[in-house]
Amino acid sequence: DYLLRINYTGGLEPTLENLRKITWSHKIAVPYTNLQIHGGSRLHFDLKQQYDNIVTKRGGGVCYEINGLFVWLLRKLGYKVKCIEGAFFAEEFTCQRHHLVVTVDFDELGRYIVDPGWLMAGPIKMQVMIPYVDGHHVYRLR
């Protein structure tokens, strides 16, 4: 049902190319919505509630909801996934733990970041202080 929700019909093997396609399909199909933070329904950090909201009801969410459920999907497909915390920089860094970032380890290829729950989709290879340009945004790991 999840793969149908994101309109993904490609390969399921845990490869870098399939990760790129799954992430992009997810990014296009699942909207980032933050209205619930400003007085709407409460955030759901329960996997069943996230699944119901995003897959069954075809809703969206904030990064913790979207990326949290995406981690579940990737693990079910056999990817080696870890979550890390992220911060944004726009003249200065914002508070820590402001953003949930998904990383995927491909052993010989290295570790990659994917982020369908925000502006950048990825995968971006984790390399410290190497600029990665994605449209109008530049990302660096520090």
96 pLDDT higher than 70: no
Of 7-11, 39-43, 84-88, give the lowest mean pLDDT range: 39-43
131 pLDDT higher than 80: no
71 pLDDT higher than 80: yes
pLDDT digits (tens, 9 = 90+) for 25-48: 999 999 877 666 666 666 657 889
**Total domains, the chain:** 1
For the annotated catalytic residues, the residue numbers are 63, 99, 115
133 pLDDT higher than 80: no
C-beta of residue 99 within 8 angstroms of C-beta of residue 63: yes
Expressed as residue numbers, the domain containing 46 is: 1-141
C-beta of residue 132 within 8 angstroms of C-beta of residue 126: no
Q: pTM for this one?
A: 0.83
Give me the percent of the chain exceeding a pLDDT of 90. 40
Of 33-42, 76-85, 115-124, give the lowest mean pLDDT range: 33-42
134 pLDDT higher than 90: no
CATH number of the domain encompassing residue 20: 3.30.2140.20
Task: Say which residue the tokens 């402001």 belong to.
Answer: 98
68 pLDDT higher than 60: yes
